[in-house]
Amino acid sequence: MKLLSPAKLNLMLHIIGRRSDGYHELQTLFQLLDYGDTMHFEATDSSELNVDCAGLQLPVQQNLAYRAAYLLQQHSQCQRGASIKWLKQLPSGGGLGGGSSNAATTLLALNRLWDLHLSIDALATLGQQLGADVPVFVRGHSAWAEGIGEKLLPVDLPERWYVVLKPACHVATAQVFANEQLTRNTPPIKIATVFAQGGHNDCETVVRQLYPAVDKALIWLNKFSQAKLTGTGACVFADFANEQQANTVIRQLPDKWQGFIAKGVNISPVHAALA
């Protein structure tokens, strides 16, 4: 089985409080993209899990796809194993949800290949153990999210094309959320307000201060369209009406940055393929 494990953008990210367990209450709008990591899955008759990700410098036991496969295997008591291979395209520490998407894609793929027939709700619950962003990829639809990101309401977003830039830095999410200057009391809003007025990213000010490369990328991209930070960064993005406009901008990208264009999609490429 070959599946495109998609990236996501946070079109806005409001932090509305901090819980006693240290997690932050937030409101965000997840936009899935038709761009990501192409993952290859093969079920095996042995119980061994072989995970090979070219371009990711991480011990295999820390790889979220491996952890997802192991968690699913243990939960279902499945005696089969799998070979999982892919080339890492989505940058780590970029705010695009790459690791979470890989984990979700693994859960969905192996649920099918191992004939487990677990529900999407069950898989999303498992995914939440791996990270707050995993459930949105498991459910496979662009969504409005609240709580720590696990309370999801599917939404249909208008078709837009995105230019996404990756500055040469790796943003540490924990460092951003621990920063004393981070806004944690943005008033809650309704989803209708977001569609009417938009929103902002409460992490952007802190990330721009800590990572000058992100600040410079936002300044450059803002010349063409309103530029925003996704998640806690480091990637920044701007939206355009069509592919031609996005291509015009990406062709002017300075050599010091990496970047790509992608179309926003409401249905995950994984769900489209499995359907």
Task: Establish whether 88 is a catalytic residue.
Answer: no
Task: Establish whether 156 is a catalytic residue.
Answer: no
Asked whether the beta carbons of 260 and 35 are under 8 A apart, the reply is yes
User: Alpha-carbon distance 237 to 199, whole Å?
Assistant: 14
Residue 9: how many CB atoms within 10 A of its CB?
A: 28
Active site residue: 133, 202, 215, 239, which one?
133
Active site residue: 8, 37, 166, 215, which one?
8
Q: Which two tokens stand for residue 16?
A: 């509305």
Catalytic residue numbers, as ranges: 8, 133
